Chain A
Amino acid sequence: MKVKVQSKNLDQIVAGLVMLVNRIPIAAKQSSRLMAEGILNDSKTIPPMCPVDTGDLESTGHVEPVSEGYAVVYGGSSESGKFVDYAAYVHDDLRARKYKKPGSGPKFVEAHVLRRADEAPEHISDILQELVDDMERTYR
């Protein structure tokens, strides 16, 4: 038995889906960058914040592209020109100690990643809905 399905606007539907498929990876990458920038900002403004002694470690904080999207990175060349090779040590050292900057402490990136991960599904859902709405507006 043969079945033939016809749609007057099949071309538009296919074009809309193609647009959606093409734009999802771009939106995901942009979203990853925004998320990483937000986490970097949190790590400097919301406890636990990056500890500050000389300021070298804090000055190395930046967002950089990686194969999966974007990552928050501490360590490397600081603004003063010194090379910071102790970022992971400070980040992971959970022993009780007195930090100069109030609100600063270990896990100053990971804590914000975990907290923001709770919000991520809703954020991703909003982005996808925006793309679908855009597709419908364009190809209605």
Chain B
Amino acid sequence: MTVMKTSLTVKNKGTPNVEVSPREELVLLALYGKELYGLQIPQAMQEASGGTRQMGIGTLYPVLHSLEKKGLVESRWGDEGREERGGARRRYYKLTGAGVTTLEAIQSFRSNLVAWQPI
């Protein structure tokens, strides 16, 4: 009975409502608790992994678009155009409530999976 309860809890807590690919998950992790603009996301990944993980812009922009469509990430324009960007504004991304919930669910699922022991 206890085993059944545990597996149910894992299923309820750990299964995200939206399907998220590994790349999308990485972007969600990078955006957790902060607001970043496009170029800062690959930079965060590179620095956090000590240069072993990289994400090119060819992957980043479609991933951000997909996450926005799924409602996990929201974006806003920066206040003003910058000289170093040829007058263009920055677009800042952050997690939505659903994004945070999904990410926490994924994390919980992972930790439960690591802790799971066969009886």
Q: Do A and B come from the same complex?
A: no
Interface residues of A (CB under 8 A from B): none
